[in-house]
Structure 1
Amino acid sequence: MTETLQCLKKHGQRLDLEIAKEMRVPLATVRAHLTALADRREAVVCKTIQFENGRPFEAWQGRVSGYVPPPTPGRKPKSKA
């Protein structure tokens, strides 16, 4: 389970399929780890439907709890406050 959490910390938001491929473990194991991490509130997990070549497939998307991605580079719109 800690390997899954480390993978999420290293790469940010990832699909369960990507985590399983990188860690070389079965998809069911990754989903069990994500469920346990979500129960302990160390990760946020949601189910998503994605399309590849017009065919839908269901995946779980996970990220570390409390993670806010850094702002993108470039100019930002000015706030009107």
Structure 2
Amino acid sequence: MTETLQCLKKHGQRLDLEIAKEMRMPLVTVRQHLTALAASREAIVCKTIQFDNGRQFEAWQCRISGFVPPSAPGRKPKSK
């Protein structure tokens, strides 16, 4: 479970499929780790549906609790 948490700390927000591929672990094991991390509130997990060449697949998107992704580049709206 700590390896999964370290991977999230290193790379930020990731899909469970990407974590499993990088760590060379079965997807079921990674999802068990993510479930435990979400239960202890160390990570946030959201289920998502994505499409790859018209083929639908379900994945879990996860990140460390308290992590706010950086704002997108580009112009920002003016304050009034």
- TM-score class, shorter: over 0.9
2:53, 2:75 → 1: CA distance?
35
- % identical aligned pairs: 84
Q: CA deviation at 1:74?
A: 4.0
Q: How many correspondences in the alignment?
A: 80
Matching residue of 1:63: 63
CA-based RMSD: 1.1
Matching residue of 1:30: 30
2:54, 2:7 → 1: CA distance?
29
Q: Deviation above 4 Å: which 4+ runs of structure 1? A: none
TM, length-normalised to structure 1: 0.91
2:24, 2:63 → 1: CA distance?
19
SS of the residue 1:49 aligns to: strand
Q: CA deviation at 1:53?
A: 0.6
TM, length-normalised to structure 2: 0.93
Q: CA deviation at 1:72?
A: 3.4
Matching residue of 2:18: 18
1:3, 1:39 → 2: CA distance?
17
2:2, 2:36 → 1: CA distance?
11
SS of the residue 1:63 aligns to: strand
Unpaired segments of 5 or more residues in structure 1? none
1:48 counterpart letter in structure 2: T
1:61 counterpart letter in structure 2: Q
